[in-house]
Structure 1
């Protein structure tokens, strides 16, 4: 091995990145709260005609409440990470698992399953508070406790049905390829390929078989709106498997629209909450924006970037897996293939946090391009009105701290986005 990590090196690097990541997230959250609070009593000039002071203040208060909860969640997740790693939590799960299960692959599956179950249960209080306190306070939550628990059970069942076979195949491949030294030790390349194929199949199957487990999808019944949308699809050369309305109001008052699926299984989905508040021209403009992502191949490009990054991640895992320092430096003494997967994915966000702005910059660029596409094939003023309504009905803050935005915002700021569309309107 050309370079071997010592346990001390891993320990120091982990603590360094852990502190930077945790403090960085808290710092950015505080900055965002301060920026929103500083502008709470003044509606930005671009929105004074369409957003009242009361609506603006509701958005500010909603954002401040979410940021307060986010800070508690950051600290909670940081504590859990320390308990699972340096605190010996993963070691404890591994030892308990070894007493119950004998076969190595079964041990690996049970270990990861136990971790997922414990992590989910520990996360329930925050999830419950977010839905039944914070969202309810601001009038967005429509979910009952029965629906919440049903979603949790469905998620667990889906993870077992879909995730268990993938995990079994991955662990089996790791055992065979590592033991036989096939592919010159590049077992991770084969596992990455299996993961890519699985991801594509999941994207293809999601709209038809998975999404309906959680929501009802009905064909769009408004004939006038349907005709307008079909005309837009014809003008842009887009083909889909149908236009559907989702019962988003069953869980939340937030409105949205999205595309899902691959190939002939692509679907256009509108939340019923969005259609309730939008005029036909505004719905068309929102759809035109989504079509812009496909026209500019944003979905395909993002998928390729994701696969390339995953390849790098698997390669790093392949390098770390045989190194004892990787486990010992993170407080783990019970090493195995499954433990390597679990430990690596658990600490990965700590080391990737500094690179968050790169993904956000690319995403915001894509959103600007999609807006310009919408301005070309629909009325830019309709998109401005639609976005303003979305900001209003979703209580989205019209103000954001510049550094918080650089790290987290996948969409451009409200003022920048509207200003770019106004320029496009004048150009027309």
Structure 2
């Protein structure tokens, strides 16, 4: 609500830093788009809170547990069916919001390019992928929980073994994602522009970065938003540009955007984030290990059918409620990383080109140039537009 109030208050005035590069009409479109997203976000928050209450103290998880016990009799199979039923119910209940976001909100502002066929094809592929990839992992986790807990000498550290399995699985998934998973949803073609490819390869050599290729993704298949990212692990890292990003960018601006992304790797932001994620996951699994035998953990959340699978599901379901207060810390660290990556880009490319590229991205994505300070501190993973541009201009003057 604070963010909406701040955006609305500045709707009719383009910030001075962007007066020459963003028109009033573009600024007002960004404001209206931001207000619409904030409105939907409030409804989504209330809807997710309602679902959480229905699944827990409302008896939803108990109902799913009784159904799984009725259909199968093997403990691990019951757990798999329970979690599968929950995932399916959560998916179906979330469809109306997902449909509205794409086919009403995004379409209203000219961003949605997705058809209903693509929407449901994505849903089907996601479910199939969850079965092929997630089902074996879930079976291994439940098997280890049951086996290790029954083996008293290992029962107290079952969570450590499961955490190790999860870490290995996560690394394998990161390694496999660019080559086998991402192409299920989008087409990736090698960059064909020889001049741009030569410029990018020169930048890669200057920064000492090695990749498995430079690709263009058909992002316009689903959305008008533009972006660029790195994916993969080790020697299988790929540079990916959305086709919507390349459409309106000069070669020097694309180079500056890429230099920013390279800055994340140069400062080891990706590696540090991965390590932090693994450490936090270890703490989470240890907490689950402590809660597993506590009857109050289940009864206090309205569950009367305890099991290993129920403990896993219930814990992951309520965990975001308790980690939410730490969001500002994650946001602060993320914004710090973005500033470092910007400074790296200013060093190996051109700060003015990055400013121009960011301005084009703000315009193309209808990103708000105004943000409430407290909202930004709590939620924003990237610095505000004015703050970010000011920092880059300071770097330019310093040079």
- TM-score bin, normalised by smaller chain: over 0.9
Scaled by the length of structure 2, the TM-score of the pair is: 1.00
Match of 2:39 among 68, 79, 84: 68
Name structure 2 gaps, 5 residues minimum.
none
Show the counterpart of 2:201: 230
Q: Give me the whole-angstrom Cα distance separating, in 2, the residues matched to 1:380 and 1:72.
A: 39
Is 1:379 matched with 2:350?
yes
Please list the CA deviations of residues 281-339 of structure 1 after superposition, one character each: whole Å capped at 9, or x if unmatched: 00000000000000000000000000000000000000000000000000000000000
Q: Give me the whole-angstrom Cα distance separating, in 1, the residues matched to 2:153 and 2:334.
A: 39
Q: Secondary structure at the match of 1:348?
A: helix
Match of 1:422 among 373, 393, 398: 393
Is 1:274 matched with 2:256?
no
Q: Give me the whole-angstrom Cα distance separating, in 2, the residues matched to 1:324 and 1:342.
A: 15
Is 1:46 matched with 2:17?
yes
Scaled by the length of structure 1, the TM-score of the pair is: 0.93
Q: Give me the whole-angstrom Cα distance separating, in 2, the residues matched to 1:182 and 1:190.
A: 13
Show the counterpart of 2:53: 82
Q: Give me the whole-angstrom Cα distance separating, in 1, the residues matched to 2:74 and 2:82.
A: 12
Q: Give me the whole-angstrom Cα distance separating, in 2, the residues matched to 1:403 and 1:156.
A: 38
Asked if 1 retains the 8 angstrom alpha-carbon contact of 2:148 and 2:155, the reply is no
Asked if 1 retains the 8 angstrom alpha-carbon contact of 2:175 and 2:234, the reply is yes
Please list the CA deviations of residues 141-162 of structure 1 after superposition, one character each: whole Å capped at 9, or x if unmatched: 0000000000000000000000
Aligned 1:299-318 pairs, distance under 5 A: 299-318=270-289
Please list the CA deviations of residues 23-53 of structure 1 after superposition, one character each: whole Å capped at 9, or x if unmatched: xxxxxxx111001001101111100000000
Show the counterpart of 1:20: none
The count of corresponding residues between Structure 1 and Structure 2 is 399
Asked if 1 retains the 8 angstrom alpha-carbon contact of 2:149 and 2:158, the reply is yes
Q: Which moved more, 1:403-412 or 1:295-304?
A: 403-412
Show the counterpart of 1:96: 67
Match of 1:196 among 167, 173, 180: 167
Show the counterpart of 1:345: 316
Structure 1 residue 426: Cα displacement = 1.1
* Runs of 4 or more above 4 Å deviation: none
Asked if 1 retains the 8 angstrom alpha-carbon contact of 2:228 and 2:245, the reply is yes
Aligned 1:393-408 pairs, distance under 5 A: 393-408=364-379
Q: Secondary structure at the match of 1:269?
A: strand
Match of 1:187 among 158, 178, 181: 158
Is 1:330 matched with 2:310?
no
Q: RMSD between aligned alpha carbons? A: 0.5
Q: Give me the whole-angstrom Cα distance separating, in 2, the residues matched to 1:90 and 1:182.
A: 31
Structure 1 residue 402: Cα displacement = 1.2
Show the counterpart of 1:107: 78
Structure 1 residue 407: Cα displacement = 1.6
Q: Secondary structure at the match of 1:412?
A: coil
Q: Give me the whole-angstrom Cα distance separating, in 1, the residues matched to 2:59 and 2:272.
A: 40
